[in-house]
Amino acid sequence: MTSSSRGNWGSKFGFILAASGSAVGLGNIWRFPYAAGENGGALFVLIYLVSILLIGLPILIAETALGRFSGKNPVGAIKAIKPKGPWKLLGYLGVLTGIMILSYYAMIAGWTVGYFFKAVTGKLKNITSANAENLYNSFTGDTLLQIALLTFFLLITIYVVSRGVSNGIERFAKVLMPGLLIILVILLVRSLTLPGAEKGLEFYLKPDFTKLNIKVIISAMGQAFFSLSLGMGCMITYGSYLRKKEHLPSATAWVVLFDTSIAIMAGLIIFPALLSQGMDPAAGEGIMFNVLPVLFAKIPGGMIFGPLFFLLLCIAALTSTVSLLEVATSYGIDEKKWSRKKSALIMGAVTLLVGIPSVLSYSEVAFFKKLPLLGISFFALMDKMWSELSLSIGALFLAIFVGYVWKTSNALKEITWEGAQKFRFAAIWSISVMFLGPILIIAILGMFVYNLFF
């Protein structure tokens, strides 16, 4: 298959928007603030930023370069360099991880659609904390509604993906991403001008080093991978549509800049808003759905900002679900020779089936709510296995693959277009991909396993 029939981004800007669209998602706006809230605020933010710079950006460059060099999906990209042996399993792991993460990510995305409609139709008006919790429980416990919302979100995702790279993904990202930025800025101004916003700023921006521990470090680094869509070949796939003439390091640096700024902005919206209302920033993953509606009911203009906020989440989630499905879809196109439409539909249908047990985690079915022996829900198990474990393992082996199998000297030829373009940080990049990245990830994984058993 020629590279033009696979598709290409129309421009470097198109790649930046689509890749930022993938990176910016529920991870930034929902997961980042609650993880920061639970892990001491500013200290978490600081470690997150260091991880992004030291390992996130270098691995992002490595993945994108591997994709552009091969012009393939994760499996094809690895086979292009090492056709024989077990390395291609890493590509399969990426495709599988994409489907698995998408299966529950799309469920949460479905919740944002549900809450958007609740907000628009006034169902969140004058809501109190107790009401909000009941509403959340009955909403997430309504299995049929949840399956309908999951299906709905997957159908939109399939639609965008099946329209193709520049006509679908890039075109939608070009409209959705600026829309997202505008809504964020409006909410930021609203939140920062609330009386008492300074308390939130202090919690969010002033690190308290006495809170430093392993758990904070692990969650901050894990968040860095998840947020940048690293470790499952998503950026290999997006890199495969990037034209050779585009300057790869600067394109990826823009993606990191967007992703990080939006996560930081999300925190700047949520913490001042929460603390100005005397609410607990460490309220956990429920913050968004349990606490924010109460906040919107209290603050002036909340009836406008509430729907806006949930709309923002739907948009952010869509550009990420599209990228998750694109990985599996491109695998079907390249390796199985399916048409784009057929591939997107098949992979989407599989995802829906895999997603149903996650939906049942919130139903009355005791088995999925609390798995025997493990004691956690099916959804929680999926999130741990795929978002935390599989992405870290994937990122580790991708760094090793690029550093030692493909070799950084070859990767650098691709990155600089055979030396025609400058890459000022080539030496630091090589050190990070070959040594720093793998060592740090092995340390995180070691601690993860340690935490699991002790």
Q: Is 231 helix (H, G, I), strand (E, B) or coil?
A: coil
Detail the DSSP E strand segments found in 146-271.
Answer: none
CA separation (Å) from 326 to 70, 223, 241, 320, 354? 17, 22, 12, 10, 17
Beta carbon nearer to ligand PFF, 35 or 360: 35
* Least distance between ligand PFF and beta carbon 27 (Å): 2
For residue 362, the Cα-to-chain-centroid distance in whole angstroms is 22
- Other C-beta atoms closer than 10 Å to the C-beta of 301 total 11
Q: Which residue, among 112, 111, 79, has the nearest Cα to 95 in the 3D structure? A: 79
Q: Is 51 in the site for ligand PFF (CB under 6 A)?
A: no
Interaction pattern, residues 186-215, with ligand PFF; x per rule: CB under 6 A: ------------------------------
How many amino acids of this chain bind ligand PFF (CB under 6 A)? Answer: 16
Give the shortest CB-28-to-ligand PFF separation in angstroms: 5
Toward ligand PFF, which CB reaches closer, 64 or 323?
Answer: 323
Residues 121-160 close enough to bind ligand PFF by CB under 6 A: none
Spatial contact of 149 and 113, defined as CB atoms under 8 Å apart? yes
Single out the residue of 39, 70, 323, 343 in contact with ligand PFF (rule: CB under 6 A): 323
Closest CA to 236 of 167, 323, 296, 309: 323
Q: Which range, of 6-14, 224-232, 303-311, 338-346, touches ligand PFF by CB under 6 A?
A: 224-232
Cβ nearer to ligand PFF, comparing 28 with 140: 28
d(CA 102, CA 109): 10
Write down the least CB distance from residue 121 to ligand PFF, Å.
27
Picking from 263, 254, 180, the residue whose alpha carbon sits closest to that of residue 14 is 254
Q: Which of 39, 51, 229, 330 binds ligand PFF (CB under 6 A)?
A: 229
Is 394 a binder of ligand PFF (CB under 6 A)? no
260 binds ligand PFF per the rule CB under 6 A: no
Q: Which of residues 63-102 bind ligand PFF (CB under 6 A)?
A: 98, 101
Cα 97 from Cα 101, distance rounded (Å): 6
252 part of the interface to ligand PFF, by CB under 6 A: no
Nearer to ligand PFF among residue 99 and residue 433 (C-beta): 99
Q: How wide is the angle at C-alpha 51 spanned by C-alphas 316 and 45, nearest 5°?
A: 65
Q: Of all residues in this chain, which one has the CB nearest to ligand PFF in the complex?
A: 27
Largest CA distance in the chain: 63
325 binds ligand PFF (CB under 6 A): no
**Ranges within 18-37 binding ligand PFF (CB under 6 A):** 22-23, 25-28
Q: What distance in Å separates the CA atoms of residue 389 and residue 418, rounded to the nearest whole number?
A: 35
Burial class (CB in 10 A: 0-12, 13-18, 19+), 448: middle
DSSP letter assigned to residue 285: G
Instruction: Quote the least distance from Cβ 47 to ligand PFF, whole Å.
Output: 17
Q: Which two tokens stand for residue 231?
A: 């470790």
Cα(449)–Cα(36) distance, integer angstroms: 22
Residue 61 interacts with ligand PFF (CB under 6 A): yes or no: no
From 56-64, 214-222, 229-237, 378-386, span contacting ligand PFF (CB under 6 A):
229-237
Sign of CA dihedral 368, 373, 375, 377: negative
> Measured from the CB atom, is 194 or 399 closer to ligand PFF?
399
Q: By C-beta, is 22 or 358 nearer to ligand PFF?
A: 22
Q: Which is closer to ligand PFF, CB of 146 or CB of 229?
A: 229
CB of 110 or CB of 302, closer to ligand PFF: 110
Does the footprint of ligand PFF cover residue 320 (CB under 6 A)?
Answer: yes
Among 90, 149, 324, 325, binds ligand PFF (CB under 6 A): 324
According to CB under 6 A, which one of 157, 227, 358, 432 is a site residue for ligand PFF? 227
Are 47 and 280 in contact, with CB atoms under 8 Å apart? no
Nearer to ligand PFF, 23 or 197 (CB): 23
What's the CA gap between 88 and 397, in Å, rounded?
11
| Closer Cβ to ligand PFF, 81 or 262, answer by number | 262
Binding to ligand PFF by residue 232, rule CB under 6 A? yes
Distance CA(426)–CA(127), nearest Å, equals 54
What is d(CA 302, CA 157) in angstroms, rounded to the nearest whole number? 29
Q: How far apart are CA 158 and CA 36, in angstroms?
A: 32
Residues engaged in binding ligand PFF (CB under 6 A): 22-23, 25-28, 98, 101, 226-227, 229, 232, 234, 320, 323-324
